[in-house]
């Protein structure tokens, strides 16, 4: 397979200022005629090369004449004599058999597209790269009954009827790269609304779904309008067309797609009501609606020059959606949530065989680079720039960026340059974060002598594949000192930028012993180890003035106990019990923050902190911790569980927080006493008028060996049998269950009549979730690895992109004991040796072997 390298970038040989597309739509066969206006770019005599993928030309004409053309693999090569020509092609495509869900495909009787990154070439021949921007004119013709609704980017111009068929012509006034093309045809109904922009333009908003789903679109619509207002207010960005459409589709490879004026969404990120969606689902819907909407500027108006620049739009847009969620909810809880994701997914990626920088240097299959590093570490990088510049200069920088590059395909360097030019701040050194992979390890210690304290900092950036030696990076650390006796801030927060291998910072005028509060708000995405005296964490857990740092202190207290316990050492659990108890009893902290603070780190995150991951010991330690907390704090937990009920229709932050705390409390109580816990969980389950309480109870029951478990699973299934999104939850809860027989259970799920490899949500609900179930996946027999591998190979025949995302858990092999290492490698080798493997899975598996 060809490897593409960032250094090899060359501007396109031919530009395509305009394209006209004519679709004759059918579920089985669709015919696509394309007319490209092409222009030679620069002085060269190279032919026109048009990308294709699994398509054959039925006709090729240049300026109306039969053309001189040939195929070079999948690429159509056309001889063009002059500097400008009209190139026409015609192809037939087969949506119903397109199981990769890239290009034009069928889903529940409708047709829809997914083009990012390289799906447009599965629809028609085209220079399918993001730096070729074209104006699109699209004509769609199809059966009126099958496809009453015909949608594409931009604005509708004309429609007409012709017997049982009808047609529509649309035009998108904004030049765009092919990856932003979209088309939808089907029997859909709109939730219609409108938004008036600050300059007074009325924008029609539609969320298109199957009729039965209309009642569940209100939350997404509210989130869309909030996003439109927020982007005007926060970034000065106004919407630019008269129409904004969202379509929900149940077969979709990822969350959603920001096609110009026609966002296509996974139903999981559109449909919600309290009976079928959890509070987390509600939050995720708002987050994804906002994210895709924000792409209209960060991605569409200013797009990427090449796919190595992917974080230019994704890192920045994640940063923007994080700001939206923080501003419309609880900033502290949002930050905790984002850091949890980073530690659970990005840190392991950054320390394993698939590590790559935020701006990767090479790829085989670009779909494999839509990663937590490009998205979430990319967002952290933008956050660090904002921290260093301050909000006003940062905003001046983004204004300049949008203004300077509007209508262009830009690079990460262009973004940084705009920030530098607007702020006068030199960010050269910070750009190392774009090119160096690996999570920096930072150590910190505070030495106090009377009124003076010296903070010692040191950093190392670990080696990653292909990059053995790293330079120190600028690491912005927010630091404050908390008085050990008073609990007050005795040195106010300041920004320390560690930009060398080590450094010291002095604090004066201290009148009591100081506690170090550092990396407040998680100002830098680093692995920080602080040298602390006994008792320090407990005091910080009770008094740190930064809510995030307080959360960190409690988590670190638990983590230290868990690691010691997993290594068979005797550790004192009393400080943990006291900190969790104080947190639960606090009347300063709200329920949402309490819930985040007391939830023990996941088994995978604990493993990530140990040199050698021992999944059984980690599981045992975490069980003991949960049981001890459940037993010792049963009064506090019981009242949180009892009082945490709020009507399902109440979606206020307060209600969401109490519900979250409620199910976490339930989980502790059940860990201490399985019988009483099962009874209590069943009561919560039966009484629930909302999915948060119901699935929270079900999650607890799924791991217990009690009769209530089977009863609840059956009741849940029966109640929601008609709702695929809830059936996904039913699969997921069982795939995540912490049980000795987890593997047998998951094997059953695969045999269940509702399981299918064809629907990505369903596949992920079993295979994706099982890959995160550390204790089950890493069963000493190696059966978990074999099972996951079977699933990957089966899935690869249907949908390589989704299959490739199931590989990374096997790539963590280096962190386990020799026996597990051998078993994991054996399965990776089995994958690589499979004939007919996709390049998606091949790249992930071969890199994972290291």
Count of residues that bind Zn ion according to CB under 5 A:
2
| Cβ 258 vs Cβ 292: under 8 Å | yes
Residue 638's closest CA among 684, 599, 588? 684
Which of the ranges 5-13, 50-58, 249-257, 820-828 carries the binding residues for ligand B3K, by CB under 6 A? 249-257
Beta-carbon contacts of residue 814 (< 8 Å; ≥ 6 apart): 352, 353, 821, 850
Task: Look at residue 38 and give the partner it binds from Zn ion, ligand B3K, none, a contact being a CB closer than 5 to 8 Å depending on partner kind.
Answer: none
* List 88, 118, 292, 538, catalytic entry: 292
Structure token digits, residue 300: 């569409």
Report the SS3 class of residue 41.
coil
**122: contact with ligand B3K by CB under 6 A:** no
In angstroms, give the least distance from the CB of 255 to Zn ion.
Answer: 8
**Residue 258 sits in the site that holds ligand B3K (CB under 6 A):** yes
827 C-beta neighbours (distance < 10 Å), count: 24
314/843 with CB nearer Zn ion: 314
When asked if residue 223 is in the footprint of ligand B3K (CB under 6 A), the reply is no
**Min separation Cβ 350 and ligand B3K, Å:** 19
Gap between the terminal Cα atoms of the chain:
17
- Closer to ligand B3K by CB, 169 or 314: give it: 314
What is the smallest separation between the CB atom of 401 and Zn ion, expressed in angstroms?
17
Q: Does the footprint of ligand B3K cover residue 385 (CB under 6 A)?
A: no
| Residue-wise burial string across 349-370, b where 16 or more C-beta atoms lie within 10 A, e elsewhere | bbbbbbbbbbbbbebbbbbbbb
Q: Which does 370 bind (CB under 5 to 8 A by kind): Zn ion, ligand B3K, none?
A: ligand B3K
Asked whether position 662 contacts ligand B3K by CB under 6 A, the answer is no
Phi, psi values for residue 314, rounded to 5°: -80, -45
**Binding region for ligand B3K (CB under 6 A) out of 10-18, 170-178, 254-262, 674-682:** 254-262
C-alpha 845/C-alpha 831 separation (Å) is 7
Closer CB to Zn ion, 130 or 630, in the complex: 130
Q: Tell me how many degrees the CA angle 412-850-310 measures, rounded to the nearest 5.
A: 15
**Chosen residue from 51, 281, 314, 614 binding ligand B3K by CB under 6 A:** 314
Residue 295 or 709 with smaller CB distance to ligand B3K: 295
State the pairing for strand pair 65-66/59-62. Answer: antiparallel
Minimum CB separation from ligand B3K for residue 269, in Å?
A: 10
Stretch that binds ligand B3K, among 253-261, 428-436, 565-573, 692-700 (CB under 6 A): 253-261
**244 interacts with ligand B3K by CB under 6 A:** no
Closest CA to 510 of 452, 455, 456: 452
* Long-range interactions of 154-158: CB distance < 8 A, separation 24+: 154/241, 154/243, 154/260, 154/261, 155/241, 155/242, 155/243, 155/261, 156/243
Name the nearest CA neighbour of 128 among 223, 285, 16. Answer: 16
Q: Which stretch binds ligand B3K (CB under 6 A): 47-55, 156-164, 251-259, 741-749?
A: 251-259
Contact stretch for ligand B3K (CB under 6 A) within 268-276, 287-295, 495-503, 839-847: 287-295
Residue 263 burial (CB count, 10 A): 26
For residues 803 and 844, is the Cβ–Cβ distance under 8 A? no
Supply the minimum distance, in Å, between the C-beta of residue 363 and ligand B3K: 12
Rounded to an integer, what distance in angstroms lies between the CA atom of residue 230 and that of residue 574? 46
- Judged by beta carbon distances under 5 to 8 A according to partner kind, the member of ligand B3K, Zn ion, none in contact with residue 116 is ligand B3K
- The residue sitting closest to ligand B3K, measured at its beta carbon, is 116
Among residues 314 and 337, whose Cβ is nearest to Zn ion?
Answer: 314
- Is 552 near ligand B3K (CB under 6 A)? no
What is the layout of strands, in order, in the sheet containing 489-498?
A: 489-498, 475-483, 514-518
Active site residue 506: no
Q: Does 291 bind ligand B3K (CB under 6 A)?
A: yes
Q: How many CB atoms lie within 10 A of CB 274?
A: 20
Interactions with Zn ion, residue window 305-324 (CB under 5 A) = 314, 317
Size of the site for ligand B3K (CB under 6 A): 12
Which of the residues are catalytic? 292
Binding residues vs ligand B3K (CB under 6 A): 116-117, 254, 256-258, 291-292, 295, 314, 367, 370
Binding residues vs Zn ion (CB under 5 A): 314, 317
């Amino acid at each position: 397979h060809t490897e593409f390298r960032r250094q090899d970038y060359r501007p396109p040989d031919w530009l395509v200022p305009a394209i006209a597309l004519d679709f004759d739509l059918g579920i089985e066969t669709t015919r696509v005629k394309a007319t490209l206006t092409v222009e030679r770019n620069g002085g060269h005599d190279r032919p026109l090369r048009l990308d294709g993928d699994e398509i054959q030309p039925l006709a090729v004409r240049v300026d109306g004449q039969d053309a001189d053309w040939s195929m070079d693999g999948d690429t159509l090569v056309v001889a063009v004599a002059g500097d400008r020509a009209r190139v026409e092609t015609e192809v037939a495509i087969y949506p119903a058999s397109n199981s990769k869900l890239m290009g034009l495909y069928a889903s529940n009787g409708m047709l829809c597209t997914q083009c990012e990154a390289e799906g447009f070439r599965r629809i028609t021949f085209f220079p399918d790269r993001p730096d070729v921007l074209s104006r699109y004119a699209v004509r769609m013709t199809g059966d009126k009954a099958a496809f009453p609704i015909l949608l594409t980017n931009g604005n509708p111009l004309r429609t007409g009827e012709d017997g049982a068929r009808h047609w529509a012509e649309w035009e998108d006034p904004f030049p765009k790269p092919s990856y932003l093309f979209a088309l939808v045809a089907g029997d859909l109904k709109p939730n219609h609304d409108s938004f008036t922009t600050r300059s007074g333009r009325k924008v029609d908003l539609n969320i298109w779904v199957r009729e039965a789903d209309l009642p569940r679109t209100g939350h997404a619509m509210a989130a869309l309008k909030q996003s439109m207002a927020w982007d005007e207010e926060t970034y000065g960005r106004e919407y630019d067309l008269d129409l904004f459409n969202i379509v929900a589709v149940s077969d979709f490879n990822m969350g959603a797609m920001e096609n110009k004026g026609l966002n296509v969404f996974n139903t999981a990120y559109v449909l919600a009501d309290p009976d079928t969606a959890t509070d987390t689902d509600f939050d995720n819907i708002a987050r994804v609606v906002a994210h895709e909407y924000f792409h209209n500027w960060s991605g569409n108006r200013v797009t990427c020059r090449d796919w190595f620049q992917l974080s230019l739009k994704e890192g920045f847009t994640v940063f923007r959606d994080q700001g939206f969620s923080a501003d419309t909810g609880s900033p502290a809880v949002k930050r905790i949530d984002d850091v949890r994701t980073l530690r659970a997914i990005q840190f392991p990626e950054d320390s394993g065989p698939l590590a790559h920088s935020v701006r990767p240097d090479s790829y085989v299959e670009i779909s494999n680079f839509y990663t937590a590093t490009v998205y979430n570490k990319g967002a952290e990088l933008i956050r660090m720039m904002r921290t260093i510049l301050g909000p006003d200069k940062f905003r001046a920088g983004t204004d300049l960026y949008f203004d300077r590059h509007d209508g262009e395909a830009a690079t990460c360097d262009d973004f940084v340059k705009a920030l530098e030019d607007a702020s006068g701040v030199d960010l050269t050194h910070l750009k190392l974060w774009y090119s160096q992979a690996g999570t920096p390890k930072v150590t910190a210690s505070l030495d106090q002598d009377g009124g003076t304290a010296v903070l010692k900092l040191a950093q190392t950036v670990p080696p990653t594949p292909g990059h053995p030696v790293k330079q120190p990076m600028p690491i912005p650390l927010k630091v404050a000192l908390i008085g050990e006796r008073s609990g007050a801030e005795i040195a106010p927060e300041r920004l320390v930028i560690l930009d060398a291998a080590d450094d010291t910072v002095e604090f004066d005028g201290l009148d009591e012993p100081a506690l170090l509060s550092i990396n407040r708000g998680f100002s830098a995405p680093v692995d920080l180890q602080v040298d602390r005296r006994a008792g320090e964490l407990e005091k910080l857990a009770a008094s740190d003035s930064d809510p995030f740092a307080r959360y960190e202190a409690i988590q670190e207290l638990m983590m230290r106990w868990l690691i010691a316990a997993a290594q068979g050492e005797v550790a004192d659990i009393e400080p943990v019990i006291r900190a969790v108890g104080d947190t639960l009893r606090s009347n300063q902290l709200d329920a949402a923050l309490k819930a985040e603070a007391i939830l023990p780190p996941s088994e995978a995150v604990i493993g990530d902190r140990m040199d050698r991951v021992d999944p059984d010991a980690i599981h045992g330690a975490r069980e003991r911790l949960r049981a001890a907390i459940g037993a010792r704090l049963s009064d506090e937990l019981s009242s949180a569980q009892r009082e945490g009920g709020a009507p399902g229709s109440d979606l206020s932050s307060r209600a969401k927080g109490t519900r979250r705390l409620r199910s976490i409390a339930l989980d502790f109580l059940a860990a201490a006493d399985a019988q009483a816990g099962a009874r209590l969980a069943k009561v919560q389950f039966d009484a629930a008028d909302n999915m948060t309480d119901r699935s929270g109870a079900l999650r607890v029951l799924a791991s217990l060996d009690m009769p209530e478990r089977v009863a609840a699973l059956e009741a849940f299934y029966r109640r929601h049998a008609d709702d695929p999104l809830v059936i996904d939850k039913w699969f997921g809860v069982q795939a995540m269950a912490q049980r000795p027989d987890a593997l047998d259970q998951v094997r059953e799920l695969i045999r269940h009549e509702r399981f299918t490899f064809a629907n990505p949500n369903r596949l992920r609900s079993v295979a994706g979730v099982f890959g995160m179930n550390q204790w089950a996946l890493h069963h000493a027999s190696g059966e978990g690895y074999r099972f996951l591998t079977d699933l990957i190979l089966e899935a690869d025949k249907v949908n390589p992109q989704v299959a490739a995302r199931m590989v990374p858990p096997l790539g963590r092999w280096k962190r386990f004991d020799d026996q597990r290492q051998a078993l994991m490698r054996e399965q990776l080798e089995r994958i690589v040796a499979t004939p007919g493997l996709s390049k998606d899975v091949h790249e992930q598996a071969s890199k994972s072997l290291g």
